[in-house]
Amino acid sequence: MEIHKYEKWWLVFGTGTLIVFLIILGVSAFHSGTHPNNSKWIINYENVDEIEPFNNPGVHKVEGKDWDYEVVLVAQAFAYNPMEIEIPVGSKVRFIATTKDVIHGFEVAGTNINLMLEPGYVSEKITTLDKAGTYTIVCNEYCGTGHALMYSTLKVVDPDDNN
């Protein structure tokens, strides 16, 4: 059986394209950072309520750190704890979050705060909240049938505003 020279060219071109595609895919997956959570802080997700600081979720003022407040947050089936977070405008905040059950998202709409919460890992984000307002916190990772009902509120308030 003899293959026409143009068929040989197309076979070589197709095989070469496939090889180049696989090389690009491999480099992007392993070199460009598509990895599991690289959190240095691993916990037992079955005992989240007993582990510091998740045994006391909420907003905590801190002294002697590079940030002013720590927001400790626990996600679970279709709810965040705490449901409402209030921070003074201009504060530097460290968000510390985890989940008790499945993968959840933590996105503060209209800001650069976006975390993926995975069972057994602690996710962190340090940011400054410069703009006063009320922001909706949504779960941006599908987590089950009640996913659409999973939200919370972040209020960035001006301490000088008496409203």
pLDDT per position as a tens digit, 90-126: 999 999 999 999 999 999 999 989 999 999 999 999 9
Is residue 15's pLDDT more than 90?
yes
Q: Which domain holds residue 29?
A: 1-35
Same domain, 29 and 94: no
Q: Which residues 6+ apart lie within 8 Å of 122 measured at CB?
A: 39, 41, 42, 43, 96, 97, 98
162 is a domain residue: no
Same domain, 29 and 59: no
pLDDT tens for each residue of 63-99: 999 999 999 999 999 999 999 999 999 999 999 999 9
116 is a domain residue: yes
Element (H, E) at 70: strand 69-76
Same domain, 28 and 58: no
What's this model's pTM, rounded to 2 decimal places?
0.75
Residue 162 confidence (pLDDT):
64
CA distance 106 to 113: 8
